């Protein structure tokens, strides 16, 4: 079907290939073009895999961490509600931005495969990018390009550094691009061919695009809208004639392909705003409060600073400037009919920069949506050379030079940022993850509302965003949301370390020890009084990169009775008496809170609160461990709240060959009296085992599956005997 539509619309019509192309390419040209595309695809795949094992999030880490944080808690809490968790601005923990289709997909795939979230997020993003390519290929056909020419343009897209770097990011960008590109194709085919099947697809893809990222959807509505206007203009009634039916029918199909996506998208925005309104710290994210930021102002739309930021994205992430200059020069050698599609694509590329100047200037990854239009425009120029008098060999040289330039732009720019392998996060987030419980909350001031610390620490957080410390009412509202939560740590960063008023307010609100427990770079970490000693001991015993105890903090000196490995031979005689009920006595021990012994009705009770490890040196031969374990009833009976949850159990293990690469597990049991009534009361343990040679054997008591040692009040009643 050939449509006679003017100017803007004509660039998307299907044109006869004989009208645009000289005699068909030979076998060598076909082979070289296919090889060019395959090489581009291989290069993109190679670049996307660089640093794949790393768990850091290079490129827009602020936004990647936010997406990853939502996904982590969706998976952890099995929370697939529309008001999905993004626990970064306090309670309620939901601040929905985009519809969580990407996050749900990543969480489900990670659960099904066992892959970690970072790799899964990259996999989903990359799959969405590759699934976008067929839509671009088909749309290029509407610009009059042959199959080989389309492969050349796709080669330019694949070698674009932006699509290598952000094509595998933990972001919604490529999923939004996928839905938007397929929506545009489905819209054109549905309306042009009056196809019910394509109409259904246009609605499905349109809904997906609008929900996943409305700004990307709005960009692709631009070419759809221009073509629709050209169609309506062509179908306008002739003066003096009542030919309104074709135009009305056309308008009906256009509305049928767009009304549902528009309505669903608007409905989602209103729902998201209603959820954000419930959180005093998140009201600034309501759509009506972000109008100037989202759509910019006349001042920043045409400012030199905004233009410079756009240029930096183009020159560093999309196209090497000499390639852009070459395209501008060669443009004037094209046939006139080839220039209109180039203008059309450039217009769409620039229009979205004018519509969302601040978003595209501040966030490099936003260019994932519109960079394809600039690359298609350049592809039209370079493939159009084959329709001029330019020798085919020279066209091949130009394309090879462009390909080499684009690959080098990636290698010099993004490649060094991707190649490093990191465990993700920092010494601060690692320390916070180890010293706080999974159900505890972090309060962080001095890092705006970044999700980086909460995500890598795997904790919910109240990030006190920039300036809130000077707004008494806003600060009070934010802190009040945590009234029924257990705050595990408060982090003051940068200049806010010196804000005495804020520090004192936080200390008083959350019952913190007045002096910081430890520091990390420009951050000070304050802990609740009851957790201070245990957490400080953990930091003292285990190094975290850049983490330093704040002075001695009042800690017992190294070599004290608890929190480190000790040999009984080093203890004073009265200290060794605590192990007098054990036969033989251990040669060494580790106890987080020090060894404790009580006598009840003339019977010894040894405190085995996690983490406790008793090491015995036993001779070769058969042995039997005999002991009795008892949980205090207060650990699992009564009412419990968020501040004082019940025990999650204690792991008891007997290990032979401690110190070797792989100690042999002789006994392993989780004792959880809260979850199982069978674990309440006295638990007699009898473990027979055989040692082929004299061996160090450890009796170990550790925290339950949630990693908490809260209320793990477990005792060894009576003797502990190996015989």
Residue 175 near residue 101 (C-beta atoms within 8 A): yes
Q: pLDDT of 216-261, one tens digit each? A: 999 999 999 999 999 988 887 766 555 667 778 899 999 999 999 9
Burial 414-438 (b: 16+ CB within 10 A, else e): bbeebeeeeebbbbbbbbbbebbbe
Per-residue confidence (pLDDT) for residue 355, from 0 to 100: 94
Residue 434 lies in a domain: yes
Q: Is residue 661 pLDDT above 80, yes or no? A: no
For the ranges 166-170, 207-211, 406-410, 566-570, which has the lowest average pLDDT? 566-570
E-only strand ranges, 518-611: 518-520, 523-526, 547-549, 566-567, 582-583, 588-591, 596-600, 603-607
Exposure of 721 by Cβ count < 10 A (0-12 exposed, 13-18 middle, 19+ buried)?
middle
Look at residues 289, 316, 339 and tell me which one is the last residue of a structural domain: 289
Burial 650-661 (b: 16+ CB within 10 A, else e): bbbbbbbbbeee
Q: Is residue 286 pLDDT above 50, yes or no? A: yes
Name the band, by pLDDT with cuts 50, 70 and 90, for residue 11.
very low
User: Which of 695, 696, 694, 648 shows the shortest CA–CA distance to 672?
Assistant: 648
Look at residues 549, 581, 601 and tell me which one is the last residue of a structural domain: 549
Distance CA 707, CA 668 (A): 16
Per-residue confidence (pLDDT) for residue 459, from 0 to 100: 96
Q: 655 has which bridge partners?
A: 665, 698
Distance CA 381, CA 271 (A): 45
Q: 583 has which bridge partners?
A: 721
Distance CA 653, CA 657 (A): 13
The better pLDDT of the pair 631, 598 is held by 631
Residue 407 lies in a domain: no
- 575 and 693, same domain (yes or no): yes
Distance CA 566, CA 576 (A): 11
Per-residue confidence (pLDDT) for residue 381, from 0 to 100: 93
Extract the tokens encoding 46.
Answer: 């190679």
- 702 and 644, same domain (yes or no): yes
What is the residue-averaged pLDDT of the chain?
88
Q: pLDDT of 331-365, one tens digit each? A: 988 888 888 999 999 999 999 999 999 999 999 99
- 635 and 673, same domain (yes or no): yes
Distance CA 583, CA 255 (A): 85
Q: 664 has which bridge partners?
A: 656
Q: 623 has which bridge partners?
A: 689
Per-residue confidence (pLDDT) for residue 245, from 0 to 100: 76
- 524 and 629, same domain (yes or no): no
- 714 and 572, same domain (yes or no): yes
Q: Looking at the 3D structure of the chain, how many domains does it have?
A: 3
The better pLDDT of the pair 407, 296 is held by 407
Domain extent at residue 667? 566-722
Residue 106 lies in a domain: no
Per-residue confidence (pLDDT) for residue 601, from 0 to 100: 79
- 527 and 616, same domain (yes or no): no
User: Which of 399, 412, 403 shows the shortest CA–CA distance to 316?
Assistant: 412
Per-residue confidence (pLDDT) for residue 50, from 0 to 100: 95
Q: Is residue 436 pLDDT above 80, yes or no? A: yes
- 579 and 717, same domain (yes or no): yes
Residue 125 lies in a domain: no
Contacting residues for 584 by C-beta, under 8 A, at least 6 apart: 616, 617, 618, 722
Distance CA 156, CA 151 (A): 9
Residue 481 — φ and ψ, nearest 5°? -65, -20
Range of 19-28, 235-244, 395-404, 543-552 with top mean pLDDT: 395-404
Residue 633 lies in a domain: yes
Helix 101-113 × helix 196-212 angle, to 10°: 90
Residue 207 lies in a domain: yes
The string of DSSP letters for 261-323 reads HHHHHHHHHHHHHHHHTT-TTTGGGSGGGSHHHHH--HHHHT-HHHHHHHHHHIIIII--HHH
Residue 466 — φ and ψ, nearest 5°? -50, 130
Distance CA 528, CA 435 (A): 11
Look at residues 270, 289, 308 and tell me which one is the last residue of a structural domain: 289
519 Cα distance to chain centroid: 26
CATH number at residue 616: 2.60.120
- 507 and 589, same domain (yes or no): no
Mean pLDDT of 549-560: 48
CB atoms within 10 A of CB 225: 15
Name the band, by pLDDT with cuts 50, 70 and 90, for residue 645.
confident
Distance CA 12, CA 144 (A): 8
Q: DSSP letter at 100?
A: T
CATH number at residue 507: 3.40.50
- 590 and 490, same domain (yes or no): no
Query: What percent of the chain is predicted at pLDDT more than 70?
Result: 92
Distance CA 80, CA 78 (A): 6
Per-residue confidence (pLDDT) for residue 23, from 0 to 100: 58
The better pLDDT of the pair 23, 169 is held by 169
Name the band, by pLDDT with cuts 50, 70 and 90, for residue 631.
very high
- 534 and 572, same domain (yes or no): no
Exposure of 333 by Cβ count < 10 A (0-12 exposed, 13-18 middle, 19+ buried)?
middle
- 214 and 269, same domain (yes or no): yes
Q: Is residue 662 pLDDT above 80, yes or no? A: no
CB atoms within 10 A of CB 335: 10
Residue 395 near residue 386 (C-beta atoms within 8 A): yes
Q: Is residue 541 pLDDT above 80, yes or no? A: no
Per-residue confidence (pLDDT) for residue 456, from 0 to 100: 96
Residue 323 lies in a domain: no
- 449 and 527, same domain (yes or no): yes
Per-residue confidence (pLDDT) for residue 654, from 0 to 100: 93
Name the band, by pLDDT with cuts 50, 70 and 90, for residue 10.
very low
Residue 65 near residue 57 (C-beta atoms within 8 A): yes
Residue 120 lies in a domain: no
Per-residue confidence (pLDDT) for residue 240, from 0 to 100: 52
Q: 712 to each of 21, 352, 703, how far by Cα in Å? A: 79, 58, 7
Q: Note the pTM of the prediction, 2 decimals.
A: 0.75
Per-residue confidence (pLDDT) for residue 640, from 0 to 100: 67
């Amino acid at each position: 079907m050939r449509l006679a539509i003017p100017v803007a619309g004509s660039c998307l019509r299907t044109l006869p290939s004989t009208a645009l192309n000289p005699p068909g390419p030979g076998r060598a040209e076909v082979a070289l073009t296919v090889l060019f595309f395959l090489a581009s695809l291989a290069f993109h795949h190679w670049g996307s895999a660089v640093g794949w094992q790393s768990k850091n999030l290079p490129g827009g880490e602020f936004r990647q961490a936010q997406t990853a944080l939502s996904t982590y808690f969706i998976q952890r809490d099995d929370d697939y509600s529309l008001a999905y968790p993004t626990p970064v601005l306090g309670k309620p923990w939901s601040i929905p931005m985009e519809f969580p289709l990407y996050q749900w997909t990543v969480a489900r795939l990670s659960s099904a495969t066992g892959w970690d979230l970072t790799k899964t997020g990259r996999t989903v993003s990359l799959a969405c990018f590759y699934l976008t390519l067929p839509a671009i290929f088909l749309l290029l056909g509407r610009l009059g390009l042959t199959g080989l020419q389309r492969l050349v343009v796709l080669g330019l897209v694949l070698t674009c550094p932006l699509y290598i770097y952000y094509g595998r990011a933990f972001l919604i960008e490529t999923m939004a691009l996928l839905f938007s590109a397929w929506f545009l194709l489905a819209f054109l085919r549905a309306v042009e061919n009056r196809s019910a099947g394509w109409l259904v697809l246009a609605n499905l893809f349109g809904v997906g695009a609008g929900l996943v990222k409305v700004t990307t959807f709005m960009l692709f509505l631009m070419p759809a809208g221009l073509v629709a206007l050209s169609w309506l203009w062509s179908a306008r009634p002739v003066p003096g004639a009542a030919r309104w039916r074709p135009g009305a029918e056309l308008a009906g199909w256009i509305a049928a392909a767009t009304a549902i996506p528009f309505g669903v998208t608007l409905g989602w925005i209103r729902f998201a705003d209603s959820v954000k309104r419930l959180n005093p710290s998140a009201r600034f994210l309501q759509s009506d409060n972000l109008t100037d930021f989202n759509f910019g102002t006349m001042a920043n739309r045409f400012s030199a600073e905004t233009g410079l930021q756009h240029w930096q994205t183009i020159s560093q992430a999309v196209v090497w400037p000499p390639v852009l200059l070459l395209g501008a020069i060669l443009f004037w050698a094209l046939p006139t009919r080839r220039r209109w599609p180039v203008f059309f694509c450039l217009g769409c590329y620039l229009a979205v920069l004018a519509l969302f100047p601040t978003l595209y200037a501040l966030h490099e990854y936003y260019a994932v949506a519109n960079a394809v239009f600039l690359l298609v425009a350049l592809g039209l120029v370079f493939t159009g050379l084959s329709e001029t008098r330019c020798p085919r060999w020279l066209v091949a040289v130009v394309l090879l030079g462009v390909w080499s330039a684009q690959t080098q732009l990636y290698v010099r720019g993004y490649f060094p940022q991707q190649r490093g392998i990191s465990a993700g996060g920092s010494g601060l987030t690692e320390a916070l993850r180890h010293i706080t419980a999974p159900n505890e909350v972090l309060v962080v001031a001095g890092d705006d509302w970044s999700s980086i610390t909460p995500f890598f620490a795997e904790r919910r957080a109240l990030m006190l965003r920039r300036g809130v410390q000077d707004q008494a009412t806003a600060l009070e509202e934010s802190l009040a949301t945590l009234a029924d939560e257990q705050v595990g740590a408060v982090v003051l960063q940068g200049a806010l370390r010196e804000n005495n008023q804020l520090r004192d307010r936080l200390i008083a609100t959350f019952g913190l020890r007045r002096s910081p427990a430890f520091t990390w770079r420009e951050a000070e970490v304050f802990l609740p009084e009851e957790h201070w000693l245990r957490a400080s001991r953990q930091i003292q015993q285990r190094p975290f990169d850049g983490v330093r105890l704040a002075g001695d903090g009042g800690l017992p000196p190294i070599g004290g009775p608890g929190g480190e490995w000790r040999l009984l031979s080093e203890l004073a005689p009265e200290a060794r008496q605590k192990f007098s009920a054990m036969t033989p006595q251990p040669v060494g021990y580790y106890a987080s809170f020090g060894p404790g012994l009580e006598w009840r009705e003339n019977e010894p009770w040894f405190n085995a609160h996690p983490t406790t490890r008793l090491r015995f040196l036993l001779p070769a031969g058969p042995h039997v461990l005999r002991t009795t374990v008892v949980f205090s009833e207060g650990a699992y009976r009564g009412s419990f709240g968020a501040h004082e949850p019940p025990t999650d159990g204690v792991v008891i293990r007997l290990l032979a060959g401690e110190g070797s690469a792989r100690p042999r597990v002789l006994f392993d049991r989780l004792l959880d009296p809260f979850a199982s009534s069978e674990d309440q009361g006295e638990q007699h343990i009898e473990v027979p085992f055989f040692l082929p040679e004299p061996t160090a054997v450890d009796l170990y008591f550790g925290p339950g599956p949630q990693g908490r040692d809260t209320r793990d009040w477990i005792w060894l009643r009576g003797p502990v005997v190996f015989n």
